[in-house]
Structure 1
Amino acid sequence: MARRGKKPKGRPVNGWIVLDKPKGMGSTDAVGKLKWLYFAQKAGHAGTLDPLASGMLPIALGDATKTVPFVMDGRKAYRFSVRWGAETTTDDTEGPVVKSSDERPTRDAIEALLPNYVGEITQVPPAFSAIKIAGERAYDLAREGETVEIAARTVEVLRLDIVDQPDADTTVFEAECGKGTYVRAIARDLGRDLGCYGHVTDLRRTSVGAFSEDDMVPLDELLAAADEGLEVLDEEAIAAGAKPRVVDFKPLDEYIIAPEAALADLYEVMLTDEQASRVLAGNPVILRGRDAPVFCEEAFATGHGRLIALGAIEEGAFKPKRVFGGKG
């Protein structure tokens, strides 16, 4: 006799929460917190943000987790402060100083070097990073005192600008970069090239993929929304030590962004109800109309008022590869 699959625990809630992560909270902890708040069946994040950093951490709930790679591959923007005169083991304020200098760079000297850090550049990620070495995270090996050798890699920096220089010790930058770029490494390498050393003292991520600062919501605001939906306990339950739970998720759900928001750079196929039903069953559909593309490597389909599938367009037909809410 075939065993029935175990019913997933939680609500089948689907979409994105673009969290404004506070300093001191790890990315995994943030995902766990939101999964608990929303009582979601599944949750995941699109790109780790260091505990010492604040700002954008897109968190996918339910079927939106299938769109995570498209967000992770997108451009990211950061605002960060560099303190000159010291290099640390972690390239931020967490590690001890390993090199120091009394030299301080002028704004002109810094700006003269910035073109070297824009475009495709070669970068060695920080020893304290999530890079895997022989299956182990680099930061775990570094914390255990092992010498971490990380190979240089090519990354893309689209923009690097000075936005403020409040004093001789500090310069504030904004950067827009591609996947895998470490701004801590930019600060470290700039400091070495300037002959004064440097490390990041403040880091905030302001955009990821299709999401902008306007999409971000602070954790405190989500906690307040959860409080609005708490059940009201009677005196007997309170006396027994019962804790209220969220019974009305409407205030929280107002912050959910549709899963397809992560796919803004892909071609959208808008399906009729009949076509949507076919795609949900895993079948391809012929695209009609003068402007319908014949080929598209990556596309998504919407129908029934929601995201239906990810797939490709081949020979004028949309062929689903990942279906949302249907078979597979």
Structure 2
Amino acid sequence: MGRRRKGRDISGWLVVDKPAGPTSTTVVNKVRWALNANKAGHAGTLDPEATGVLAIALGEATKTVPFITDAMKAYEFTVRLGIATNTDDAEGEVIATSELRPDDDAIKDALGKFIGDIQQVPPQFSAVKIDGQRAYKLARDGETMELAARPLFVEQLLLVDRPDADHVTLEMVCGKGGYVRSIARDLGQALGCLGHVRELRRIWSGPFEASEGLTLAQIEEMARTDALDAHLLPLEQGLQDLPEVKATPEGATRLRNGNPGMVIAHDVEYGDEVWASFEGRAVAVGRFKAGELHPSRVFNQPGSA
């Protein structure tokens, strides 16, 4: 018999403004401890040296993580021109340098190549799996890998600042699976001057914004108190990109048991992925078919009837 997790049965989201240094997993563990929660996870890893919004899901909200992972995200990052590293960021070893420094117009022109549906090769130091092993582990052992390009949708990529000849600050809005380090690397190659990420901040992720996030210091100060609980956002926050339908009382009961249930829907088509609510709370996610929701995920929120 498996060991039961200790902690409170709470559900919702806590938005953290992650500092540089700790891993995303470290932040999750800190939040789980501070809230005395029995289950927690994050929606989208940030590299240790990256800062910004890290949305932490608690309890039943962990079932909505895929919808935040798939959502659009915005990043502000500074590229150091003239230097390439083996990690494509400032933590790596310098592998090549260049004296070329393009002007602002050349950079703006080059950015157009990275907008829309593009193919992106992940960094050598990334979590991509190669024959069952993480690429970063193989890279640490000195191996050089041929990583397959992956599709990425970039909605926006703008030059927002040029502090000096060696640095350029960009803002990017993109879909799931984007590596900012790859953008910096490939932009430097396209410009002929090389480049890597020096600083990276995730401004927002789906409905969550870094400006509304708590710092780790604030979380520690409010740990195990009602004050921290007050910052929890509802589970439903993670479902904003899906259409909502209303479950009938009988439908809600059936859905909670994992069965198709009757719902009231508007502007929804057969086969659409939607979420059903009852009395304002999420009951299930699934496919809408002929007046019923066929559930793929069911929520058992604390306090639900």
Task: Please indicate the TM-score interval, normalised by the length of the shorter structure.
Answer: over 0.9
Deviations along 1:254-292, whole A, 9 cap, x unmatched?
111111111111111223444423322233333347x37
Structure 2 residue 287 is matched with structure 1 residue 312: yes
1:55 alignment partner in structure 2:
52
User: 1-side partners of 2:73 and 2:61: how far apart?
Assistant: 19
* Uncovered stretches (5+) of structure 1, i.e. residues with no partner: 227-245
Q: CA deviation at 1:155?
A: 1.3
User: 2-side partners of 1:205 and 1:323: how far apart?
Assistant: 30
Aligned mate of 1:211, from 200, 208, 212: 208
Aligned mate of 1:250, from 222, 226, 243: 226
Give the secondary-structure state (helix, strand or coil) at the position aligned to 2:163. strand
How much identity, in percent, do the aligned residues show?
A: 50
User: 2-side partners of 1:181 and 1:47: how far apart?
Assistant: 11
Q: For residues 213 and 296 of structure 1, do their structure 2 counterparts lie closer, same or farther at Cα, with a shift above 3 Å needed?
A: farther
Q: Which has the higher contact order (CA 8 A, sep 6+)?
A: 2
Partners of 2:247 and 2:262 within 8 A in 1? no
User: 2-side partners of 1:96 and 1:288: how far apart?
Assistant: 58
User: 1-side partners of 2:261 and 2:276: how far apart?
Assistant: 11
The answer to which of 9-18 and 311-320 deviates more is 311-320
The total of aligned residue pairs comes to 302
Structure 2 residue 163 is matched with structure 1 residue 166: yes
Give the secondary-structure state (helix, strand or coil) at the position aligned to 1:224. helix
What root-mean-square deviation, in Å, do the aligned CA atoms of Structure 1 and Structure 2 show?
A: 1.9
Q: For residues 307 and 93 of structure 1, do their structure 2 counterparts lie closer, same or farther at Cα, with a shift above 3 Å needed?
A: same
Q: For residues 288 and 202 of structure 1, do their structure 2 counterparts lie closer, same or farther at Cα, with a shift above 3 Å needed?
A: closer
Structure 2 residue 195 is matched with structure 1 residue 220: no
Structure 2 residue 66 is matched with structure 1 residue 42: no
Q: CA deviation at 1:210?
A: 2.4
Partners of 1:276 and 1:304 within 8 A in 2? no
User: 1-side partners of 2:57 and 2:71: how far apart?
Assistant: 15
User: 2-side partners of 1:173 and 1:115: how far apart?
Assistant: 13
1:286 alignment partner in structure 2:
262
Q: Report matched runs for 1:62-211 at 5 Å.
A: 62-211=59-208
User: 2-side partners of 1:268 and 1:18: how far apart?
Assistant: 23
1:13 alignment partner in structure 2:
10
User: 1-side partners of 2:122 and 2:264: how far apart?
Assistant: 48
Deviations along 1:46-70, whole A, 9 cap, x unmatched?
1110001001111111001101111
Which structure would you say has the larger Rg? 1
The one-letter amino acid paired with 1:185 is: S
Q: CA deviation at 1:293?
A: 3.8
Structure 2 length-normalised TM: 0.93
Deviations along 1:137-188, whole A, 9 cap, x unmatched?
1111111212222112221111000000011111000001111111111111
Q: CA deviation at 1:306?
A: 2.0
Q: CA deviation at 1:80?
A: 0.2
* Uncovered stretches (5+) of structure 2, i.e. residues with no partner: none
Give the secondary-structure state (helix, strand or coil) at the position aligned to 2:232. coil
Structure 1 length-normalised TM: 0.87
Partners of 2:79 and 2:198 within 8 A in 1? yes
User: 2-side partners of 1:138 and 1:252: how far apart?
Assistant: 37
